[in-house]
Structure 1
């Protein structure tokens, strides 16, 4: 089967991980600190905090935004379920808003429609790597958290995605371009917030484990508040440093493949695909295709018959069992997109022959 995604990992990453193991420092340590510095420089922000996943990164972002019990946080339902779940982790209530049919992202209008006096923040997702129009949310009077889980390598108004966000969260899951196996990153503009979030990811210790172990004198740490174990390991960070250097090449290759898909499907009636917005560029972390009467189950089975592993369209969290029975505003665009779209294979090592197989299968499914 042609996979929907395949990480681009090789000898360099294996050697870097082995060197971390050989060093004897495998928990959070010097390689994590190096990865944080390199990632902050790449994005163009003053602070980056490596963590265990994008879910934990988003949780810390909400804490940094001051979200707590009694608050509401607006999220897109059309997103991986973690976007809504982290609102619960922060003790608040997720409120779902609809998305734009072209970018699959929230709009200020959709957020205003569900804003109440309890609304504290909005999580703006760069869905599938397509950057959200972050500046458009500045006038809403809400704390804005950017869920850039899929966004590393995308650009917004000429800068890396997340560069202008007060708080942003990234994922390094294998479905993303840059992977550390599991892992994530928080980027922060404010120094005091960064100091607190850096503490919170490590049990709120007054002195980090790395600093204690590297000290020549005994260090007695304190635990300043109830906190979490959200740490990344040095083995993961060693891999991440190699992946970060390869990221521009990954983006360039995926954009070539995406352009070929777009050209191949441009003449099919009613078909829309992932594409760049007017204000930025996407890394094409996911390449989705949709048409009005697309029968998802039929298309996925037909593609599988051609040897193509595809996925259903981006999930709608409010339709999942975890959120059934709760009251949400109507989300017609979200429900149409999640039911009438599929995600196609797209990965760095994809060959022309493999992509031709996918294109032929989609044409067959469309009835062309």
Structure 2
């Protein structure tokens, strides 16, 4: 079976994790601190706070910025459900906007149409690794005095010009799930240039404690922590961070491998009249967390037929990114909401196998069977 995704794990990764396990310090500690510094330096921001997932990073980010009950945050529906869920967990209300039909990222014009007196922020999602239109979104936010946050779960390494995704918003969140370019097994991180936000998120992730467990254990004097705020247990462990550090050392080669594989897909599929390959605007760098094609027409029937054919021949695929507003919790919240572009694209898109260590023979098999399925 050719999987749709596979983490790139080496003997060096295993050795790094083993060293932490044998060290006796396995919870949040020096490896988490090192990992945070590496990510912040790479993205080009001052602070990074590691958490248990990108979802919890966003949840804490909203709270740290005072987003809560009675507030609205505009977000694309075409995103993994964690994006709106994190808004709801903070006590605020997600307001869904439609997408651009070429990039599959949120449409700035529809964002502006959805702004109300309750709107406090825009959550930009860099869909499957392609940066959103941050220039337009930032301009709209400035016009209406809103904050802009980045759901960069899939976007580590993506760029607009020379600026990395994660450096545009008040805060940004990255994921290190096994499908991502760099993985910690499970984990996320919030990055920001705002010291106050970083400090508050650090407290919130560890039950609201004024100092971390590691700081208490390494201080030369007696340290008594206090709990001035009610927090959560959203910490990353040193075991997870050790894997992330080891992986991070080869982030450039991992990204390059994905981009080269995506280029091979582009070259093989661009001449097919019934396939729309990914569009990347000039000056944008895509991470290709996933390679998603579109099979237009028939309300998704063609897509489903192709998925079944590929599965029969040992090739795993996934349906395109969901329309979150059609999932039960949000359909109940917005029973009459229609987002025509989002719904059409979700029905017609298909994610093909792509991972850094994918062999050309495997990719050629996918391409060959895809063409046969489309006849």
TM-score when normalising by structure 1: 0.97
Task: Give the whole-Å Cα distance in 1 for the aligned partners of 2:31 and 2:9.
Answer: 18
CA contact (8 A) 2:73 2:120 kept: yes
Aligned residues: CA RMSD: 1.2
Matched position secondary structure for 1:324 = helix
What is the aligned counterpart of 2:213 among 205, 209, 215? Answer: 209
What is the aligned counterpart of 1:290 among 289, 294, 298? Answer: 294
Cα deviations by residue, 1:113-160 (Å, 9 ceiling, x for unpaired): 211111111110000000112121122232111000000121122122
**Quick check: 1:125 aligned with 2:125?**
yes
Task: Give the whole-Å Cα distance in 2 for the aligned partners of 1:81 and 1:36.
Answer: 26
CA contact (8 A) 2:36 2:50 kept: yes
Matched position secondary structure for 1:170 = strand
Partner of 2:168: 164
Partner of 2:106: 106
Matched position secondary structure for 2:210 = coil
Partner of 1:352: 360
CA drift at 1:291: 2.2
Partner of 1:314: 321
Task: Give the whole-Å Cα distance in 2 for the aligned partners of 1:248 and 1:139.
Answer: 31
**Quick check: 1:181 aligned with 2:188?**
no
Which ranges of structure 1 fall in alignment gaps of 5 or more residues? none
Which ranges of structure 2 fall in alignment gaps of 5 or more residues? none
Task: Give the whole-Å Cα distance in 1 for the aligned partners of 2:110 and 2:97.
Answer: 6
Task: Give the whole-Å Cα distance in 1 for the aligned partners of 2:237 and 2:204.
Answer: 16
Once structures 1 and 2 are overlaid, which stretch shifts more, 235-244 or 319-328?
A: 319-328
Cα deviations by residue, 1:272-298 (Å, 9 ceiling, x for unpaired): 122322231101111011121252321
CA contact (8 A) 1:306 1:357 kept: no
Aligned residue-pair number: 367
Once structures 1 and 2 are overlaid, which stretch shifts more, 151-160 or 249-258?
A: 151-160
Task: Give the whole-Å Cα distance in 1 for the aligned partners of 2:64 and 2:274.
Answer: 43
Matched position secondary structure for 2:332 = coil
**Quick check: 1:361 aligned with 2:369?**
yes
TM-score when normalising by structure 2: 0.95
CA drift at 1:241: 0.5
CA drift at 1:333: 0.8
Task: Give the whole-Å Cα distance in 1 for the aligned partners of 2:224 and 2:280.
Answer: 52
Matched position secondary structure for 2:350 = strand
Partner of 1:197: 201
Matched position secondary structure for 2:231 = coil
CA drift at 1:23: 1.1
CA drift at 1:32: 0.4
Task: Give the whole-Å Cα distance in 2 for the aligned partners of 1:254 and 1:97.
Answer: 29
Matched position secondary structure for 1:120 = strand
